[in-house]
Each structure stands twice: as C-alpha cells, then as structure tokens.
Structure 1
Amino acid sequence: MPGAAMPSTVGGPTNLPPAFPPAPPVAFPPSDAQWGTPSAPQPRRRERRPRRTLSVAWVVPLMIVALLAGLVGGVLGARLTDDTHLADAGLPAVVPRASAEPAAGSTAQIAAAVLPSVVSIEASGSTGTTTGSGFVLRQDGYLLTNSHVVAGADETGGTLVVTFANGDQLDATIVGRTAEYDLAVVKVDADGLTPLVLADSSAVAVGDPVIAIGAPLGLAGTVTTGIVSALNRPVTAGDETDTAFINAIQTDAAINPGNSGGPLVDADGEVVGINSAIAQPPGTGTTAGGSIGLGFAIPSDQARRTATQLIETGVATYPVIGVLLDETYTGEGVLVSREAQGDQPAVVVDGPADRAGIRSGDVILAIDDRPVTEPDELIVAIRAHEPGDVVVLRVRTGDDERDVRVRLQESG
C-alpha cells in the first residue's frame, strides 16, 4: 500500500523469508554478495546515524562478495611456469638431503593431512560454467560445499564434476542445497573416502590460527594461513529473493574467488568453517576481486546441522519468531512493522513473538544481550540457532523496556 513500510520477515508465513539479527554491528555496512553471476542487484541501503557501538573513528564501507571463479580462457593472464633455462652461473652444486617429515602441528603437516579430502567442483548450466571448492563429509561419497557453487547446475541438463586431489574426476549429483544458509551437499559414486572432522565452532576464539584450503582461480590445492580475526560477523549475500544470512567467522587468511565451499581448518586440521564470501572496497563492483584480508566462513556448527538435514530430507529448515521488520526505520534497535504486508501480518497470530507478548510497533533492541541495529542483524542472530531454541529479546514498548523469552519455531 502507498506509504507502507518496506518490511523484512522474521518468521512470517511460508512464502517470505524470515528476518533474523546479525551479530555485533559490523564496521562496514554488509551488502548483498554476488553468487557467481556476472552481476547482482545492489544491496538495500539506508541512511543511518553513526553507531555508538563502533570503536573506530572512521569506517570504510565494504562490499561482501561471493567467491565463485568463472572458467574464462586465459583467466590468469600469465604463465605459471617458465621454460627458460638459466645458464650455469657457477653456483655450488645442491647437496641432496633426505626429506624430513613435517613437524607435528605445522602448517605443512596439517595441509598434508587435509588436502586429500579437499575437492574442486565444476558446475555447468545454462548460464555457463563456474568452479568452486568442497570437501569430503562422509566416507560414502557425500561432499559439502556452498549452495552458490552448485546453483548453476541445479537445473535440467546441468552437470557437476568433482576433481579430487589425486586427479580423479567423478560426476556428482546435488543431494540438497539451501540458499538461506549458502550450503549444499553433493554426492559422488565412491566409497572409502577420507572425511574431514567438523569441529565445535563455538570453541573458536579470536586469534586462533586457521588454514584455508581450496581452488582459488581454479588453482587446486592452494593453502593459505591466518587467524580468526572476528566472530559473529553478520554477513548477507544474494538478492532479495535468494538471500543467505551468515553469522560468520572472519579471517585474514587469503581467500579468493574459487575458494567458496572449501574448508577453514584449525590447528588440529578440523573444519571450523566453510569459506563463503570476502569483503571488497567500495567502487569495485559486485564481482569478487581478490583478498584484502577480510574473508568470511560459515561456522561448522551451522554446517553440521544443515548438512544433516539436507542428507536426511533434501531440504533445510531455519528458525523464525513470526514478525515483519520495518526496513525504513532509522531509530535505535529494530522496529516490528506497524502494518501488514499483503497477506502477512506484522505479528503472526499465535507465533513465537505473539506468544511472548511482542506487538506491532515494538522495538527489539538486543537478542541474548547482543545489540541489534539493523533487520539483517536480527535475522542472522536468529538463524544461528535452530527451531526449539529459546532466545531472550530486549523489547521496548513506548518508554517501557523488558526482556522476553521467545521459543524459536521452524519456518514453514
């Protein structure tokens, strides 16, 4: 209706995605990421006053982009080998040495253990061919990757080819994928594979060393190192009808187009995240450029829950609270819409929020003591949970503030 607020859904009826909160405010406004297409809709932006929660004096806006590498002839533009033979310069002869085993816990040792379980994925469909990464989830042929890596092949006539570290290539099929979490499970006809262990990502701490492994720009077996530079970073990617909400692990390990779906592993060689997106400075467009030290990975706890659902049922569910959020609101917190949108009420009758006493026009200030200032922040924080979990929302009605307990409901 004219003049109506443009709402986000947080657990509304089936057809519209719910709105969930992001983690702590980011030092840059998250924008929709490009999921392997030549262009993507511009992110929804709105004017906001400076946030008191930021601890820096100035902020550089960044663009969150996906990490899909297109197969373009001559993409590297330079030879990776040099056929030129150098003349003998009279240098001392190399003395052969017995090769030593990598030191336990070293990057070399971890890489040697993990690399055989990491794969390159080539997805072909009507929009072209793209490549990404993935890894072995189960010994009987189940692999985990990003939804945007395989999306192009999820159509009639689409094909998926998986290349293992030893050069073996196998056709694959999509078991299930979810754009909401940007995760997909694919299956190859193989047995006896070596799966990677999904670690407890809730135990990850800022400063922990991590290793990213994948096939950036199609260069399989690439290993980069860094640390966990932040946790609970709210990242949204995609477009208005196909948006992923990620409560991301941030890392400075070099992540580039083609790393999508590859593992981010800890010092034990266990997967703590699935590499999914990178930030780019403004003005660089929506196509992923290269690493600027801000990469984002889907936490392994989320990946474990979602992968299990995809394997068992082919679909994944997500939690909702049953409200619409007003995206035009610029005050403190997040406003529950004052108006219905189409056939979707501002607060779903007998939904989780309604049962907790949340009403149209209320302002949600925090979830589990985590302040929220944007609808996407609330969406991300909610989707980091699972249906049945109880969260505590700080709610303001007029001048009155109170904490309410809300039991999350499965979307549907």
Structure 2
Amino acid sequence: MTEHTPFAPPTPPRRSTDESVWTTDPAASEPHAEPVAVEHPAEPVAVEAPAEPATAEHPAEPAAVEAPAEATTAEPVLAHAATPAAEQSSHQPGEPAAAHPAVHALAAAHAGQPRRHAPRARVGLRGVMSVALIGLLTGVAGGAGAHLVLDRADLRPADADLPVPDVEHVVDRPSGSVAAIAADVLPSVVSIEVQIGQGGATGSGMILKEDGYILTNNHVVAEAAGGAKVVVTFADGHEQEARVVGATPDYDLAVLKVEESGLVPLVLGDSDAIVVGDSVLAVGSPLGLDATVTTGIVSALHRPVKAGEEAEAAFIDAIQTDAAINPGNSGGPLVNAAGEVIGINSAIAQPPGVAAATGSIGLGFAIPSNQARHTAEQLIETGHATFPVIGVLLDPAYQGEGVRVAESAVQGQAPVTPEGPADLAGIRAGDVILAIDGRPVSQADELIVAIRAKAPGDPVTLRVRTGDDERDVRVVLSEKTSG
C-alpha cells in the first residue's frame, strides 16, 4: 500500500514506511526561487580615438573611452556604431582610406582583452524565466546594433531578407491529436490559490458545471476550513473568489462555487472503460505554471493509494499514469483521447527515503472519474459525502496471507460491528479475508480501497477463511458519512 501526504501547507510532508507517495500540492515542495545575479561579462574597455588630428611625424595620443560598466556584450556594438566624431577624425587628407570606424572601434575594444566568463549561478524556477527574458532582450539589442553597422557600412547583401511564412496558411491539427485535445480541454481547466497570510497553496481544478461549480482535491483547499481565501484563475486570466460547497478527506475531493454562468464544463467519462496502455493527458498548473499539458499512458489500474494524514487519510482505488504530474497538478483532470476526464490527478510517488516531493518520476495517481462523479454529486446536493463499509476492524500487525479481522476490541470498538454487514454475513473476529469479488488482497489498505470504490448498498463477495475452512460470503455494504 502506498501512503501519501498532502502538499497543501502548512502541514509538512510525511514519509511512509514503505514507499513515499505524496499528494501534488506545491507549497510543501516548491522552493522559493532565490534572486539570480546576472553578471555582465563586458569589462570597461579602452577605445582608441584620436584626441587631435594626427600627422605623419606626431601621431595623436590615444584617448581612453570607457564603455559603461553594466553594458552587455551586445551594447558596445550599438555604442560604436553611433560615434560620428570618431568617424570624422579617423581619416586625414592624402592618406589611404581606412576601414570603417565601427570596425576599428570593435577591434580596439577586444584587442588584448582576455575572454571572460561569468560564474555559473544557481537558478531557481523564477530565475530561469528571468534569465531567459534577459537573454531575449539582450539578443534584440545585439541584433539591432549589428544591423546598424551593416547599414552604415553599406555591407548588407541585397538578398539578406529571409522568406516569411504564409499568414493565410492554417496548420490543420487532426481530431484526436494531442494538440486538438489540449485546445478543447484547456479553456475548462483552472488554477486555484488558497491565500494564507503572506503565503498560500496552489493547485488545479476543472469546470464541473456551467453555472460555476468546480471540482478539485480536498487537500488543495483544506485550509479554507480555517478561513483562508480561495481564488480561482480562469484560462482567460480573470479571477473569481470561490467558496467551498463541500469536501471529503476520505476521497480527497472538493467542490467549489464561483458566481459565474455560461462556463464550459468538461465531461466526466467512464473510468471503468479504460485499459492499461490507453493514451492520456494531464492538465493543470504544476509549480504555478498555468495551462500545462503533459502526455503519457495508463500504466496500471486499481492501485491502492493512501493519501493524507492518518486521521484523515484518503483511500483511492487509483489510476496510475506515467504522464508527468508535479506539485500543483492536484485537482486537475486526467483526460483520455476523446477529451473526456477519466481521473482527477491527486498524488505522485517518490523513491524511498525522499523526505519531500521533488517532482515526477513517472508514477502519478488519479482518482477514477466514476468515483469523482458520485462524490461530487453528493457534495453539491448535501455538502457531505458518504462511503461504504463492511463493519469490521482489521489487524494491521497480521503478516500472513490475506487480511485478518481483529481478534479483540480496539479502543472500546468491537472487531465486528454488531448488526453490521459483516456480522449479518457471518464473519467473526479472527477470520481472514482473502479476496473481494475475486481480486486477492494482501494488505488492509487494499481491502479498504476496494470497498471505498463501491457505493453504499452495493453487494460484494468476500472469500473468507475461518481456521482451515474457506468460503465465499455475500456482504451488502452499509453507509457512513464522511468527516
């Protein structure tokens, strides 16, 4: 059984005893990017220009002209290209014509200067974006300077203009392609921020109904119960404050409501119809990067995933995918090739021994859409959700085949609830449950997850062993209210 802890702050992540799996809220894992010092490699350079008209016998003394200390490597090109004084004094009557003054200036600026390299800086997420922006701006300035030099020297070839694209040509993305699916899905995916004092947590969500209902993970908005403000950012950039209609930690789902209408909802597909190998897209705002799309396949089905704190753990009969899911993807949709939502991204796995989620390693988990549909309908109608139980306490210390019912009371609670589903079916303390509906179980969490995937009132068939005797037992699940 894989255990998860929510990313949503302020709760720090907890490591399981087996394999660490973490829910995908960014606040517990995303480091704040440190300011990045971008050093300009250009040193002040001495540019030789005649101070006085030169003669053959007495050459003029060179005058030192310093370039600005913070100029980038592209800026000296602009500076030298715009110095007409140097151009006027560089050629004396009767002397052979010299090369263009910009060429002199550029050569003088670099003559004898050692090549310098700026030290490599540690770059965080925001640092990367800042450096990229600076690089683009520098490239624009450098390009403009070089263009000016060529114009002034009349060196620009007549055929320098490159072909331009046909503005009337439209690329056709075939139906079912990743680009076509993304274009249909992205307008209905939102970014969610829970504002807590000077900080906050971020996650993702999907439009559930046209009149303002939005589905996300419970752990994304858990802090809203303490009065935190929830803000939803839509695909077109506008924001709306949202209220929590209902939430359940048992299924890690929550429904929000914004005062808007005319929204375009996504369709919740049939998660029972998917198979291992189906293509999927994960859509959301990982690490605060809105409208991010990643692709992969369904890697496995019915993964027993336990997410959250022990007191409020969510037991998920999860869809496993290798589509990249990172902190901040929580609550966003996992979409099939038809553009239908077949899961709600909720958790990622991390290698054993990792104390905090560091990002996708190709093991992500989503709540099946059929479960999400049933729970969301309950949350909208009543603000609460129910889940099914069989009415037994399981022995976590048991190491044998199957899962054993506790042999004695725990904190005053009987191992088999009197008049509960298991009691009525003849299950007794100490019995071992080997399978549910033909699917073997070897851990307590596996049995709980398999039961939670059902609905109250559903019948299940349990393979039960009492001593050396094995038998199939039909149990009708009862209802318990979440929270």
* Alignment-derived partner of residue 66 in structure 1: 23
Structure 1 position 35, deviation (Å): 3.6
Partner of 1:282: 352
In the TM superposition, what are the counterparts of 1:127-146 in structure 2 within 5 Å?
Answer: 128-146=199-217
Contact 2:7 2:327 in 1 (8 A): no
Task: Summarize the alignment of residues 19-38 of structure 1 with structure 2, pairs less than 5 Å apart.
Answer: 29-37=1-9, 38=11
Q: Secondary structure at the match of 1:323?
A: coil
* Residue-by-residue CA offset, 1:15-62 (whole Å, 9 max, x unaligned): xxxxxxxxxxxxxx512323423523443x4xxxxxxxxxxxxxxx63
The one-letter amino acid paired with 1:201 is S
Q: 1:308, 1:403 → 2: CA distance?
A: 33
Q: CA deviation at 1:73?
A: 4.1
Letter in 2 for 1:65: W
Q: Which has the higher strand share?
A: 1
Change (3 A) 1:127 1:296: farther
Determine the structure 1 residue equivalent to 2:385: 316
Structure 2 residue 288 is the aligned partner of structure 1 residue 218: yes
- Choose which of 101, 117, 125 in structure 2 pairs with 1:76: 125
Matched to 2:127, the amino acid is A
TM (norm. structure 2) is 0.73
State the AA in 2 paired with 1:69. P
Aligned pair in 2 of structure 1 residues 271, 240: CA closer, same or farther (>3 Å)?
same
Find the aligned partners of 1:368 and 1:221 in 2 and give their Cα distance: 40
Distance 1:411 1:126, change over 3 A: farther
Instruction: Please tell me whether residue 365 in structure 1 is matched to residue 438 in structure 2.
Output: no
Residue 321 of structure 2 is aligned to residue 251 of structure 1? yes
Letter aligned with residue 427 of structure 2 = I
Q: Residue 260 of structure 1 contacts residue 277 of structure 1 at CA under 8 Å; is this kept in 2?
A: yes
CA contact (8 A) 1:126 1:152 kept: no
Correspondence 1:85 to 2:139: yes
Distance 2:448 2:4 in 1: 14
Q: State the match for 1:39 in structure 2.
A: 12
How much has 1:102 moved relative to structure 2?
2.0
Give distance in 2, aligned partners of 1:40 and 1:354.
38
Deviation at 1:127, TM superposition (A): 9.4
Tell me how far 1:342 sits from its aligned partner.
1.9
SS at match of 2:461: strand
Q: Are 1:167 and 2:237 an aligned pair?
A: yes
**How big is the shift at 1:125?**
3.1
Matching residue's letter, 2:456: P
CA contact (8 A) 2:245 2:379 kept: yes
Contact 2:15 2:353 in 1 (8 A): no
CA distance in 1, matches of 2:452, 2:381: 20
Q: How does 1:4-403 map to 2 (within 5 A)?
A: 29-37=1-9, 38-43=11-16, 45=17, 62-70=19-27, 73-74=32-33, 76-80=125-129, 81-82=132-133, 83=136, 84-85=138-139, 87=143, 92-97=162-167, 98-125=169-196, 128-156=199-227, 158-285=228-355, 287-403=356-472
Instruction: Give the corresponding residue for 2:479.
Output: 410
* Amino acid of the structure 2 residue aligned with 1:85: G
Greater RCO structure (CA 8 Å; 6+ sep): 1
| RMSD over aligned Cα atoms | 1.8
Contact 1:125 1:155 in 2 (8 A): no
Q: Which amino acid counterpart does residue 2 of structure 2 have in structure 1?
A: P
Q: Aligned with 1:154: secondary structure?
A: helix
Gaps of 5+ in 2: 34-123, 148-159
Consecutive unaligned residues in structure 1, runs of 5 or more: 1-28, 46-60
Q: Distance in 2 between matches of 1:42 and 1:289?
A: 13
What CA deviation, in whole Å up to 9, does each residue of 1:104-154 have, x standing for no partner?
111111111110000000012369400000010000000000000001122
1:149-168: CA deviation from partner (whole Å, max 9, x where unpaired): 00112213x10000000001
**Structure 2: which amino acid aligns with 1:320?**
V
Q: Give distance in 2, aligned partners of 1:144 and 1:379.
A: 24
Higher helix share: 2
Q: Percent identity?
A: 58
- The residue type equivalent to 2:412 in the other structure is D
Q: Secondary structure at the match of 2:179?
A: helix
Q: Does structure 2 conserve the Cα–Cα contact (< 8 Å) formed by 1:128 and 1:152?
A: no
Residue 79 of structure 1 aligns to a residue in which SS?
helix
Q: Which amino acid aligns with 1:32?
A: H
State how far apart, in whole Å, the 1-side matches of 2:229 and 2:335 are: 29
Shift of the alpha carbon at 1:85? 1.2
Q: Distance in 1 between matches of 2:296 and 2:31?
A: 29
Tell me the distance in 2 between the aligned counterparts of 1:255 and 1:350: 44
Q: Quick one: distance in 1 between partners of 2:441 and 2:229? A: 41
Query: In structure 2, do the counterparts of structure 1 residues 182 and 306 end up closer, same or farther at CA, with 3 Å as the change threshold?
Result: same
Instruction: Mark the CA change 1:41 to 1:69 in structure 2 (over 3 Å): closer, same or farther.
Output: closer
Distance 1:125 1:243 in 2: 23
| Code of the aligned partner of 1:68 | D
Question: Which protein is bigger by CA-based radius of gyration?
Answer: 2
Q: Deviation of residue 237 (structure 1)?
A: 1.1
Q: How many angstroms apart in 1 are the aligned matches of 2:255 and 2:470?
A: 43
- TM-score of the pair, normalised by structure 1: 0.85
Distance in 1, Cα, partners of 2:161 & 2:365: 46
Paired position in structure 1 for 2:55: none
* Contact preservation (8 Å) 1:40, 1:239: no
- What letter matches 1:134 in structure 2? G
SS in 2 for 1:302: helix
Paired with 2:391 and 2:172, the residues of 1 have a C-alpha distance of 56
How far apart, CA to CA, are the structure 2 residues paired with 1:127 and 1:243?
A: 28
Matched residue type, 1:388: G
